[in-house]
Chains A and B, each alone.
Chain A
Amino acid sequence: MKFKLFFIFFAIITSSYSQGLQNIISGKVIDEKGEPLFGATIFVDNNLLASIVNENGNYVIKNIPQGKHLLKVSYLGYKTETKEVTVKNKENLKLDFFLNENTESLKQVSLLSKSEKTKTETKGFAVNVVETKEASLRNIQTNELLNTTVGVKIRQNGGLGSNVQYSLNGLSGSSVRIFIDGIPISMYGSSFSLNSIPPSMIKNIEVYKGVVPGHLADDALGGAINIVMKKGAKSNFNASISYGSFNTLQSNINGLYRFKKSGLTLKASTFYNYSANNYKVWGRGIVDIAPNGRTTEITAKMFNNAYKSIGGITQIGFTDVKWADQFFIGFTGSHDYKEIPNGAFMSTLPYKGRFMESDAKLTTLTYQKKDLVIKGLDININGLYGKRNRVVNDTVPWVYTWKGERLKDLKGNDIKYNWGSQQEKTQYGPVLNRISRNVASIRTGLSYEINKQNKILVNHVYSGLNREDHNEFLSALENTFKETKDLYKNIYSLSYELNAFNNQLKANLFGKHYRQKVLNNKPEFIDNPDGSKSVVEKVYNSNKNYNGYGFAFSYAILPNITLLTSAEKAVRLPSETEVFGNAGDNVRENVTIKPEISNNYNLGFRFGKFNIQKHSFTLTTNLFSRNIQDLISLPIDKDQLDQDDQVIYYVNLEKRSTSKGVELDLNYSYNNNLGLNFNMSHFNLTTLVNGLEVAVPNTPTFTMNAGVRYSIKDFFQKKSSLNLFYSAYFTDEFSYIKSQESGVRDDSNFSNIPLQFVQDLGISYAFPKEHFVISFDAKNIFDKTAYDNLSIQKPGRSFYIKLNYTINKF
């Protein structure tokens, strides 16, 4: 059989050689706007010969036999074009194709954007581009979407709005930096975060693991997540409302209107989210308490767990005009309210009346222009300036039980906490803590394409943050003499991009220069000549400069096998506290502290896209390693030193951390109506301290996600479409502390975070013309207990329904 096939193949080759060595057809494939359709396929006579359109929209087909041929050009999201040609001997034919967008199906539009996804994902970085198109029509939050991405683990404390920790290939906390259009998300505060921004306001999310390109430069030791907000210059309107379990309501409205003549563009988006998050919980800490202190486990409904966020962006500017592709001045305002139901664990005593509010008022600027002054010079500016505030409110002194009632003592009196608030602390009194910050950040990117092969990019990010703290319940004296810290960062990067051998080889070399300035404002009394006193702020500052560098390299060994490799010497600059300590905790400054350095490596392959009849699939794998040195920490014997009232300070420990692992991502589709995605990630995270290598506890090291989508066309009504979804999330069991030996008896299993296997179902129906899409989602359908953090239970089974309304043409 094999031999036969080979023979036929050989025969075709030889026959075409003998018939017409010189016959060539070439031309352009572009869309209505003249944009090249990179990746479109051209078939000659039902797959006898084929070619793929390059980045500039050109194609070439050589060795065409003499005679009549049928050329078929297709591109996802576009109507297929067919042309008949007659080829004479030794002829060089020019044939251009114009493809029209196929507006009939939503799904194809989402596939269209995949070409950009593919472009980013094949540059050599260990990057995933998360698309929001489908999720935005469903009852899916941005964080949930991110969690399904390979190598990303979201650890959330509960329902909508709860505290989230992001982990990339095992590194988390301040090792992972999050950006909105390249601006650090910390500038926006918690009210405008991945918890509150709906997927419909986001174009896509780029997740860079370990190696972060120059244009996103920050001290991101373990990687970066960049949220790319929707740009666009087409008038559109979209609104959605979702309602479901735990009284969860989420709605948003997005609109853009462009005056065709002047290019004047108005954009507005708003969102509103609310959830009572009053789901059921049980477990060791969830108890009722008798006046004599005896506890009995109960199933309780969460209280003091509501979340509300509201926000909006309005922008005015010009799009697609001579002097700018995009120019906007805007205002972003947001506010959130979040009740805090418990401390670090769901312990026997829940919190009542402790909550946090935050808001941000920011002015924003966007400017983008391709071919600025000279061809090939592109500029991109994003900036913001404004103020954000946060208030922590904890003024209820009464003890509440999980039944939601006040706890009584043996004499029948309500019990008050010794420390006068819900959260345990050593300083007595209610808390109403206001933190105000002035924030400013601007990112400027310039890129110059010398020619098709060479490109140079220069980037600069500035971010500055100063803060003021004030506790309403403390005296002026206590509030005045609180040290505050301001942080200013300037990060410069220079990148060089190479595209060689007809896009077969792509390389990106970059260097980053970090400059950080920390100011410590220490108030002091001074005696005035007239005998009075006044307060002056004594400012101490620390300036630190560091360099980092890296590269990304991709090589298409075969058209559908690409080697992707990248490496970076990444840096995490010491934080304000690490530099200047914290007087309240007896931690003093250490201005000589060095940054944490990590050598990050990725080596991966991308196989695909393979098309076998109606099956198509892509497989991406990545092997990674992260090696962090000079870990910043308090000294190992800090408890001893603290007990003896000695001063301590942050140090670079003789300690290394290593994360090594593998991840795999498989996408399969059949006939464009069945889609399947599977990914898994497994790694080891260890630290080496005093020559002892130990696994880092409290780290979910093995995760898998799977998703299935099935589309049915013309369901019930003509030109409608029905989509069915299934998702499964698996996180292997892990231990909060070091796991115990097998012979040990651990009745309470108290440090285990059990295996999680959560399955969701969803259905969405797009009415004809696709103005309306209605979605229904059932999450955690088998009502499994889920924990990302020790003893902090997440919601069980829940249901949501969502209505979307969209107009794309006015």
Chain B
Amino acid sequence: MKKQLFNLKTLTLALSSLLLVVGCKEDNDIDKEGITTETKDASDRWITVAGAKMGSNPGDGNGGTLVYAVSSKNAKDPNKVIAPFDYGYVVPSNRTARLQASEDGNTLFNITYAGDTGGSFFKYTVDGGQEFNQIGLPVTVAQYVGTAPRWIKLFDGDNTGAAVYVSTEDVINDNGTIDDVTDDVYVKTESKIAVVTISLANQEIIEFKDHTISLDDINAVKGYYISRIDMPVLNAAGDKLYIGAQVRKKDPTTLERDNDYDILGTKTIVLDYPSLDNPSIITSAIGHGNSNGYRSINAFEYNGDVYQANQSDPEGSHILKIGANNQYDNSYDFNLDTALGVTGAYVLAWRPAGNGKAVLAYRHEGSETGVAGAQGFFALVDLNAKTATTINEIPYEADFYLFQYQGFAVKGNEIFVTQAPVGKDGNIYAIDTETGAVTKGAQLKNVEGSHFIGTW
């Protein structure tokens, strides 16, 4: 008898603990407390702050992109606390979203990067705080450039965006013998580039073109080819579109990827605009390496010319100049190693104001390795004087990670940046590019493993 009582007791205990588990699960009320309504004066500008939440590793940014908008006045107020990870708006994107904002800061654009709506263009009105409201129907460009497209808005008064894709194909001469491999000769690797333009205003596709291109014969036969393209930018005349390129190399005997080779002069693909016809490739004699950037806009029009940063340059990143004649201006030599006094400078992201002075995010060989990768810094750059100085008013530490940094909101000559090491709180800093004055602004509340990717 006693035995059985004990059993029943155990059973009851087990079952009630189960009920508890079930019961707890249902208690899922959404706590909406702490949400503030953000306002701004009619003359002020929204500053949208974006954070990239950690996915599975610190700094990977794969846990979602969250945005939060405050007035520029609040953005410069060190008592203001901004917490996008707690009260922000989730921009749908599987990896870090690649955001674009209208020049007035009132509209946010995004093309979803992977996922079920990957490759779809979304438009949101910025209404302060977590109030971002989708307008119009999504427009997909996945049929042309895939579900994880590289895209940028063109600086043509917020009219147009351009997205690009490239696939490659090896050209082999089998000397008429399909099965005999010993007489096969590698000719070149062709790149099939796809370019689509989207009307930001009307939310529809404007034009699509694809072209098959390859490098000059001498380099092509050695195995050099365009492996990635990104960062389209319009020239001042508005009749040419420049697209940044990454060049890789194959071993022509085995077609395997080569890792040890001479890096060619930086290349850019030039297309007629708006027809997107007549592709040609221009090459810099100053810079070597790639011009496709990563997540942030890599090239800007200023004063009639286009200024383009390059990456993976053995001499350190350069800012290169493409003149009004749509060719690299090799008389413009702006090396960041020289200007910053470091070795292996690497431009992660940058943005000039209308005065030709820019804020630039970089790392270099001496960067410490933090939880997510190499430490980043901000510098103030003068395109005309070809000078760059590290902004020392901003605190740096090893976990200050800028590889995924994207956005610099520009208000007149003022540029807003976010500063927060991975997983740690930080601040907004407003940099007056004209005077170099740095204002420590609103506090940024971070969460574990996450980081901020800029302002818009």
Contacts and interface: CB of A to CB of B under 8 A. Distances in A.
A610 to B, nearest CB: 7
A560 B4 CA distance: 10
Interface in B91-118: 92, 94, 114-118
A652 to B, nearest CB: 15
A748 B92 contact: yes
A615 interface: no
A543 to B, nearest CB: 25
Contact of B138 (A294, A610, A645, A689): A294
Contacts of A410: 205, 208
A209 to B, nearest CB: 19
Contact of B35 (A289, A523, A636, A743): A743
Given A424-B146, A476-B179, A645-B259, A285 B117 contact: yes
Contact of B120 (A291, A348, A586, A746): A348
Contacts of B79: none
Interface stretch (B41-49, B248-256, B323-331): B248-256
Nearest to A792: B116
A745 B89 contact: yes
A451 interface: no
A482 to B, nearest CB: 9
A16 B141 CA distance: 89
Contacts of A687: 56
B62 A349 contact: no
Interface string A406-429: 010110000101111000111111
B372 interface: yes
A744 B66 contact: yes
A791 B116 contact: yes
A374 interface: no
Nearest to B260: A647
Interface string A259-298: 0000000000000000000000001110101011111100
Given A647-B259, A737-B62, A750-B90, A293 B116 contact: no
B89 A427 contact: no
Contact of B170 (A349, A478, A586, A692): A478
Contacts of B138: 287, 294-295
A620 to B, nearest CB: 10
Contact of A349 (B94, B143, B210): B143
A32 interface: no
Contacts of A743: 31-35, 86-87
Interface stretch (B6-14, B334-342, B413-421): B6-14
A790 interface: yes
Interface in B187-228: 190, 192, 194, 198, 203-205, 208, 210, 227
Residue among A5, A292, A639, A644 with most chain B CB within 10 A? A639
A610 B139 contact: no
Given A417-B143, A743-B35, A347 B184 contact: no
Interface in B45-94: 53-60, 62-64, 66, 85-90, 92, 94
Interface stretch (A120-128, A323-331, A527-535): A527-535
A697 B253 CA distance: 44
A295 B145 CA distance: 16
A797 interface: no
B27 interface: no
Contacts of B87: 741, 743-745
A687 B227 CA distance: 35
Contact of A480 (B7, B181, B203, B204): B181
B7 A292 contact: no
Given A284-B116, A640-B373, A690-B371, A418 B194 contact: yes
Residue among B35, B137, B210 with most chain A CB within 10 A? B137
A704 B22 CA distance: 10
A487 to B, nearest CB: 22
B117 to A, nearest CB: 5
Given A426-B168, A480-B181, A740 B90 contact: yes
B169 interface: yes
Contacts of A525: 182, 253-254
Contacts of A680: 18, 21
A592 interface: no
A719 interface: no
B365 interface: no
Interface in A477-518: 477-478, 480-481
Contacts of B192: 418-419, 428
B172 A744 contact: no
Interface string A742-757: 1111111011000000
Contact of B143 (A407, A428, A535, A732): A407
Residue among A293, A605, A619, A704 with most chain B CB within 10 A? A293
A561 B5 CA distance: 13
Contacts of B302: none
A96 to B, nearest CB: 31
A704 B239 CA distance: 63
A263 to B, nearest CB: 48
A345 B146 CA distance: 13
B228 to A, nearest CB: 8
B86 A645 contact: no
Interface string A769-810: 000000000000000000000110000000000000000000
B234 interface: no
Contacts of B3: 558
Contacts of A287: 138, 140
Contact of B139 (A285, A292, A481, A744): A292
Contacts of A347: 115-119, 142, 147
B182 A9 contact: no
B90 A744 contact: yes
Interface string A661-697: 0001000000000000000101000010110101011
A188 interface: no
Given A418-B192, A692-B449, A475 B184 contact: yes
Nearest to B186: A477
Contact of B204 (A292, A475, A535, A586): A292
A697 B448 contact: no
Contacts of B449: 692, 694
A302 to B, nearest CB: 15
Nearest 4 CB-CB pairings of A with B:
A285-B116, A637-B373, A292-B204, A791-B116
30 contacts: A291-B205, A293-B139, A294-B137, A346-B116, A348-B142, A409-B208, A410-B205, A415-B143, A419-B146, A424-B146, A426-B166, A476-B174, A477-B255, A583-B257, A607-B7, A607-B11, A636-B57, A637-B374, A639-B60, A643-B294, A664-B18, A682-B21, A696-B56, A697-B63, A737-B55, A744-B87, A745-B89, A746-B89, A750-B90, A791-B115
Given A349-B142, A584-B257, A743-B32, 19 more contacts: A9-B1, A345-B114, A346-B116, A348-B142, A410-B205, A418-B167, A426-B227, A475-B184, A476-B180, A610-B4, A621-B14, A664-B18, A692-B449, A697-B56, A702-B21, A740-B64, A743-B35, A744-B89, A747-B90
Interface of B: 1, 3-4, 7, 10-11, 14, 18, 21-22, 25, 30-35, 53-60, 62-64, 66, 85-90, 92, 94, 114-121, 130-132, 134, 137-148, 165-170, 172, 174, 178-184, 186, 190, 192, 194, 198, 203-205, 208, 210, 227, 246, 248, 253-257, 259, 294, 311-312, 346, 371-374, 403, 423, 447-449
